[in-house]
Chain A
Amino acid sequence: MKCDHAQQLIVQYIYGELSDEQSHSLELHLTGCEFCRGELQAYQAFRQTMSLAPVEEPSPNFLAQSRVRLDDALDLLPPPSLWMRLEIGWHGFLAQLQAAPGMAMAIAVVGLGIGASAGHYWKHSVEHHPAAHLASAAVPAENTAAPSVYNVSSIVQHPNTDMVEVHFNTMVPATIEGSIDDPEVQKLLLMATRNDVDPSVQRNSVSLLAAQCKAGHACEDGPVRTAMMVALRYDRDPGVRLKALEGLNPYVGQDVRVRDAVLESLMHDPSQSVRSQALQMLEPVQADSSVRVVLQTVSTGDDNPAIREASLKVLQAIPPTE
């Protein structure tokens, strides 16, 4: 045995990875090789040195916190029964196919036929629905945001247009491309605001919808405005909350629910920039009694001196009523 090989075996030996036969060969080599005996001792000393920095257990608090976070994320996933069963069914089906190549061939032929006719129908459909079309799934646009969509995986905005490309997952990943105003696209964007797994998807969707609200497009009906309020109250990313605030800005005056959400963020949001932005947005409705109460509370009792001062300024600027 050469020393190079013996050294490799020594490392495996100290980690209990050698077979009896290999141990015996190593033993024989070590009997006649002083250098390798020294190597063995050095590796044993190395292992003992390493044991001086053992792996620490995560603290109970940290473990509990991680479990809560995981539970929340799992809660956001759709009930597993349907798609899990389909997945299990699909794997079972593939296993059967492996066992029956003849049947696989027959299915491939039928599949080709279906693909050809669906392609024809698809072309026809796109011509009649230019606003929104699927980029990778051969079904008409009306069916794209069917209930089988279980999450949105990414959003790409086309520069300088109002066109977006939304990648989403049904049983297979799919993509829809169309104007943000398109109801199907909007439905997917709304779904994307609830994606707690990939923060970038959430951020993109909130910011796109907020921009639409700001421009007075998409926020006239309930769901988008509600999604903005949910993002403002619950999103972990202050950047997303700021975007949601921007989207809600035009409705502070007319919608009491929006005003309450903004007041709440002024009182409790952990980010100072979000709170400052909320304060600015409340200026036009400062005469509202609930706004005034909140401003008084914040200007006297808030921990942050900058927020206290800013609220006081806004309060002082309010002309006395009644």
Chain B
Amino acid sequence: MEPQRFAIPVQDTFPSPQIRSAPSRIQSKSRMYAESSARLQDAELIREAQRGSREAFDALVRQYDQSVLRLALHLTGSEQDAQDIHQEAFLKAYRHIGSFRFECSFYTWIYRIVTNLCLDLLRRRKTRREDPSVIVDATGEEHDTMINVSDDRAMANPARELDRKMLAEKIQIALGTLTPRERTVFELKHYQGLRLRTIGEMLNTTEETAKNTLFRATRKLRTQLSVVR
């Protein structure tokens, strides 16, 4: 007979934020303290930048530009485009810092600008490209790779390292098959770890829509990468 009750393996590989042990609660307290002091520091810099201090704005740039560049580089896959977006985003922020009303963190604000610039770029690219959804299927090799991955979870596959690089390429191709919006939501959730509510705000949509988009994106990727039972 099947087991009576199925327990979700929450602490297995992906710890859930809802269930925390005592040490992690202490860690989270100190992290909260660090976050709030960073926010205060940011607020001071923003006020100075609003009063016209270029040095203060430069300090804000130095704090966030690496994350901005990383996000743009990973989303666009092109150094040139990432650099253009990095520049455009901060120029935009500089021009409009006067209208920053402290309703969200500077981090959320600049990420909102960057993701929207990336989204525009991905949309422009998508309209220039023809149906990319067949790329992965054409090779016919995904099944083998993913079987290896499944086996690896069970600690039974010795060929894991050999497939790593090839798999990384397949993942990139699979990511390329998502729509610009799906790609952006997936990037912000999976790689940047943002909350879906924040993602919704950044993309001027609801948390519910962001949830649905994330669901579509993961389902597509799973199919592309043949992660099926």
A79 near B8 with CB under 8 A, answer: no
Knowing A26-B8, A57-B66, A79-B52 are in contact, say whether A16-B14 is a contact too (CB < 8 A): yes
User: Is B69 close to A, CB under 8 A?
Assistant: yes
User: Is B136 close to A, CB under 8 A?
Assistant: no
A8-27 near B? 1/0 per residue, CB < 8 Å: 10011111111110010011
Contact residue among A20, A43, A55, A84 (Cβ-Cβ distance under 8 Å from B98): A84
Q: Write the nearest CB–CB distance from A20 to chain B, whole angstroms.
A: 6
B138-149 near A? 1/0 per residue, CB < 8 Å: 000000001001
The main secondary structure of chain B at its interface with chain A is helix
User: Is A105 close to B, CB under 8 A?
Assistant: no
A41 near B229 with CB under 8 A, answer: yes
Chain A interface residue number, banded: 35 or more
User: Is B172 close to A, CB under 8 A?
Assistant: yes
Q: Write the nearest CB–CB distance from A47 to chain B, whole angstroms.
A: 6
A38 near B229 with CB under 8 A, answer: yes
Please report which residues of chain A, range 19-65, place their CB below 8 angstroms from some CB of chain B when the two chains form the complex: 19-20, 23, 26-27, 30-31, 34, 37-50, 52-53, 55-58, 62-63, 65
Chain A residues with Cβ under 8 A from B50's Cβ? 84, 88
Chain A residues with Cβ under 8 A from B95's Cβ? 77
A91 near B99 with CB under 8 A, answer: yes
B73 near A58 with CB under 8 A, answer: yes
Count of chain A to chain B residue pairs whose CB atoms are closer than 8 Å in the complex: 172
Q: Write the nearest CB–CB distance from A141 to chain B, whole angstroms.
A: 27
User: Is B196 close to A, CB under 8 A?
Assistant: yes
Contact residue among B3, B15, B62, B228 (Cβ-Cβ distance under 8 Å from A42): B228
Q: Which of A66-74, A112-120, A260-268, A311-319 contacts B (4 or more CB under 8 A)?
A: A66-74
B54 near A80 with CB under 8 A, answer: yes
Closest residue of chain A to B160, judged by CB? A52
A69 near B83 with CB under 8 A, answer: yes
A15 near B98 with CB under 8 A, answer: no
Taken together as a complex, chains A and B put the C-alpha atoms of A62 and B83 apart, in Å, by 9
B61 near A49 with CB under 8 A, answer: no
Q: Write the nearest CB–CB distance from B91 to chain A, whole angstroms.
A: 6
Knowing A27-B7, A91-B99 are in contact, say whether A49-B227 is a contact too (CB < 8 A): yes
A118-159 near B? 1/0 per residue, CB < 8 Å: 000000000000000000000000000000000000000000
Contact residue among B91, B164, B218 (Cβ-Cβ distance under 8 Å from A74): B91
Closest residue of chain A to B99, judged by CB? A91
Q: Write the nearest CB–CB distance from B2 to chain A, whole angstroms.
A: 7
Closest residue of chain A to B190, judged by CB? A50
A44 near B12 with CB under 8 A, answer: yes
B73 near A77 with CB under 8 A, answer: no
A49 near B225 with CB under 8 A, answer: yes
The main secondary structure of chain A at its interface with chain B is helix
Chain A residues with Cβ under 8 A from B129's Cβ? none
User: Is B104 close to A, CB under 8 A?
Assistant: no
B191 near A46 with CB under 8 A, answer: no
Knowing A30-B8, A50-B221 are in contact, say whether A84-B195 is a contact too (CB < 8 A): no
User: Is B5 close to A, CB under 8 A?
Assistant: yes
User: Is A215 close to B, CB under 8 A?
Assistant: no
B218 near A43 with CB under 8 A, answer: yes
Chain A residues with Cβ under 8 A from B164's Cβ? 52
A63 near B99 with CB under 8 A, answer: no
User: Is A182 close to B, CB under 8 A?
Assistant: no
Chain B residues with Cβ under 8 A from A70's Cβ? 61, 65, 86-87, 90-91
Closest residue of chain B to A24, judged by CB? B8
Chain B residues with Cβ under 8 A from A7's Cβ? 215
18 A-B Cβ contacts within 8 A?
A16-B18, A31-B5, A38-B229, A45-B150, A45-B153, A46-B222, A48-B149, A58-B70, A66-B69, A66-B83, A70-B61, A70-B91, A71-B58, A82-B52, A84-B97, A88-B50, A88-B98, A91-B98
- Chain B residues with a Cβ under 8 A of chain A: 2-8, 12-18, 49-52, 54, 57-58, 61-62, 65-66, 69-70, 73-74, 79, 82-83, 86-87, 90-91, 94-99, 101, 146, 149-150, 153, 164, 167-168, 171-172, 189-191, 195-196, 211-212, 214-215, 218-219, 221-222, 225, 227-229
In order of increasing CB-CB distance, the 7 nearest A-B pairs are A81-B52, A87-B98, A53-B168, A53-B171, A31-B6, A46-B227, A38-B229
